[in-house]
Amino acid sequence: MKSKYIILLCLSGLVIALDQITKLYIDHHFQLHQSVTIIPNFFNLNHYTPDLSAYRRYFRDEDEYILFFGRLEVRKGVHIFAEALAEIFRRDKDIEAVFVGNESTYNNMSMKGYLKEILGEFSSRAIFIEHLPHNALYPIIER
């Protein structure tokens, strides 16, 4: 790890690892003399049984798509993602956008409606799927 990252780790006062091995590595190599918090990885693949029902409902294996997953809200930048999609859609006529997550509101409008407004003529190439459990979301990410 480059020295600037070590300095950042030390200055931050907070060190977070995704797994026990990373925690041990940080403890051993950097000796920060502080607690390293572990936030488990988004998917626990040791206890994963895929649920393909959502994938089969919305997609075919040959489908190409760009995926956004997470709560659909401005602070997560989903509207910026939607703005960038217009250029992608112009260049690639076969690709679709998939938004997986719960809705929020923005300026008294549903986020889904706002995103469709941003997408304009390309809104028919957007697929909106409500929140999915991890075992149903992972097959969509994986493919």
Per-residue pLDDT, 49:
86
Per-residue pLDDT, 141:
86
Averages of pLDDT over each 10 residues, the chain, 143 residues: 47 60 74 65 69 92 89 90 90 93 90 95 95 89 82
Provide the token pair at 92: 């690639």
| Interacting residues of 13 by C-beta distance below 8 A, sequence separation 6+ | 34
Residue 128's beta-bridge partner residues? 99
Per-residue pLDDT, 102:
92
Cα–Cα distance measured from residue 62 to residue 49, given in angstroms and rounded to the nearest whole number:
23
pTM of the model: 0.68
Nearest Cα neighbor of 141 from 76, 72, 70, 82 is 70
Per-residue pLDDT, 2:
46
